[in-house]
Structure 1
Amino acid sequence: MEDVLAGVGTRLRALRQARGLTLADLAVETGLTGSTLSRLETGKLRPTLEQLLPLARSHGVPLDDLVAAPPTGDPRIHLRPVRRHGLIVVPLTRRPGGVQAYKVIYPPAGQASTTTPQTHEGYEWFYVLNGRVRFVLADQEFELGPGEAAEFDTGLPHWIGSADSQPAELLTLFSAQGERAHLSPTHP
């Protein structure tokens, strides 16, 4: 039991930092106090199920990931969509830190919770799987369709949403540390 709980704090801190959240931000999302979150991350407080459940939900990860549960031998991946700010986000990576992969579904145009460009630390790359996307970056605006991709520094004001009455589906790679996606063609 002690071995299982020993690394929880480190994983919690890495998840929070990968999302670019402060302890205060996470406290609002989870209903836990900033002090409790800090003590959990530093290992000064032993986590309870009542604390881990809202943290797993907030970070969009299975509870097993927080406690580093041993694999069960089942090779299937159980993706759990999360609703955030009107979007459906499906985390595709299961480790904290580094480049994170997501499938993001944007609601039809006019149904977005905001159209105000945002800024935050990091770097993002996205590929349009289905639908049409309206992409605002600083003072430029683009429309992308299936098979098109874009990459940008998230420190620039940006907004992404569906360009029409249909939802838009994107594959997104994001790094809070500013790592860029490096794509290179394969040679036979």
Structure 2
Amino acid sequence: MARAGEAAGAGVGARIRALREARGLSLSALAAQAGIGKGSLSELETGRRNPTLDTLYAVAAPLGVPLAALVDDHDGAVLAHGGMVTTRVRVLREPGRTTEVYLIRLAPGAVRSSPAHSHGVEEQLVVVAGSGVVEYGDGSVALGPGDHVRFAADQPHAYRAGPDAALEAVNVIVTPA
């Protein structure tokens, strides 16, 4: 009997494969564009490997889809990796764009680096508790409770939690169609 994580990985893998094939991309081409190994991508697609958040973002960008297109497609879905827990609050699909809303919790001192999303993607972060820094492009912004930042996420970016407390924030990602 498959464990829950394995079942979730199989669903993600099937979605990746379907999107890759719909775009006419070979396994090798998508792996190269995502910057991951062909064998790793093959294992993801067949459900033999559970993806990390970094891998999902890396694959989503060349497929031109939001993260929500790859993960469990229901509100309340949770992804945890590398000191970060992400809970999907809501996804709104409209003509012309997809808006994803997540509640994120980054452990004290943890860093979440994200590769560039697809062209035109924008992120907003509203800090609920704790403090940290958001780095994007040539800039960085220190944030505390109640602070907000909006930036182009089609470039590498990172969140850094302060050393003393978890950074808790609402993250909104808008992906144009």
Query: What is the TM-score when the length of structure 2 is the normalising length?
Result: 0.55
In structure 2, C-alpha distance between the alignment counterparts of 1:148 and 1:141, rounded to whole Å: 13
Partners in 2 of 1:140 and 1:81 — Cα distance?
29
Tell whether the 8 Å contact from 1:143 to 1:163 is kept in structure 2 after alignment.
no
Aligned position for 2:72 = 61
Over alpha carbons, which structure has the higher Rg? Answer: 1
Counterpart of 1:13 (choices 19, 22, 34) is 19
Percent of aligned positions that are identical = 16
Is there any run of 5+ residues in structure 1 with no aligned partner, and where?
Answer: 1-7, 37-50, 66-76, 179-188
Q: Who is 1:88 aligned against?
A: 85
Output one character per residue of 1:8-30: Cα deviation in whole Å (capped at 9) or x when no partner: 97xx639xx9xxxx854598368
Letter in 2 for 1:88: V
Q: Deviations over 1:29-68 (max 9, x none)?
A: 68244xx7xxxxxxxxxxxxxx6xx69xx74315xx6xxx
Query: Once superposed, which parts of structure 1, at least 4 consecutive aligned residues long, lie more than 4 Å away?
Result: 94-97
Match of 2:117 among 91, 112, 120: 120
CA–CA distance in 2 between the matches of 1:135 and 1:151? 10
Letter in 1 for 2:90: T
Tell me, in whole angstroms, the C-alpha distance in 1 between the residues paired with 2:156 and 2:116: 5
How many residues end up aligned between the 2 structures? 131
**Normalised by the size of structure 1, how large is the TM-score?**
0.52
SS at match of 1:92: strand
2:91·2:98 contact (CA, 8 Å) conserved in 1?
no
Gaps of 5+ in 2: 1-13, 24-28, 57-69
2:104 matched residue in structure 1: 104
